[in-house]
Amino acid sequence: MSIGSQNENDHPLITEFVDLVNETVSENVLDFADIQSKPFIRFWPNLLILKAAEDKANRPDAFIKLWGGAWVGAHGSEMTGKNFSEINLGNVKDEILKTHLKSLKDREMFIAYSLPNWTGMEFEIGCMHVTFPLKRGDGVTETLTCASFK
């Protein structure tokens, strides 16, 4: 797994995270126990963990199991414990949900770059995020996203 993006040099945290994942699991899927190890601790503020879910109309949704501190700082509020369908993520909501679902289905890493418009105002920062399938217990029903906001 490698990244090749025009914005990659602006977000070295993402490159470092992908390198760490590659060192940790090679071709396999990350396990929740992996991200609890010491090398991952410095990335925790930048992490988002989503669990597959459905909304009230049985459409694909995601339950937010972890909304790291960098996400709180960029968005302005804590979202851990909510469903994606309940929160305002503006123009990046569909992109993050699609990436989550695709990563679960294909068991692959996906990278995206966006300019969040979460509160109705364009940010002067970009958000590069990389998403991996995440195993907890016997199944892969979650994804792990690491984001860099600049």
Rounded to an integer, what distance in angstroms lies between the CA atom of residue 137 and that of residue 68?
22
Tell me if 1 is assigned to some domain: no
∠27-63-46 over CA atoms, to 5°? 60
Residue 135 — φ and ψ, nearest 5°?
-95, 135
Note the pLDDT of residue 120.
54
Tell me if 2 is assigned to some domain: no
pTM of the model: 0.85
Tell me if 139 is assigned to some domain: yes
Tell me if 94 is assigned to some domain: yes
Could you list the pLDDT tens digit for every one of the 150 residues in the chain? 344 444 555 679 999 999 999 999 977 799 999 999 999 999 999 999 999 888 778 888 899 999 999 888 877 789 999 998 888 777 677 788 888 889 989 998 888 877 665 555 455 566 788 999 999 988 899 999 999 887
Provide the domain limits for residue 17: 8-149
Where are the strands (E) in the chain, listed by range? 30-31, 47-54, 60-67, 110-114, 127-136, 139-149
Note the pLDDT of residue 3.
45
Domain count of the fold of the chain: 1
CATH number of the domain at 137, please. Answer: 3.30.450.20
- Radius of gyration over every alpha carbon of the chain, rounded to an integer in angstroms: 14
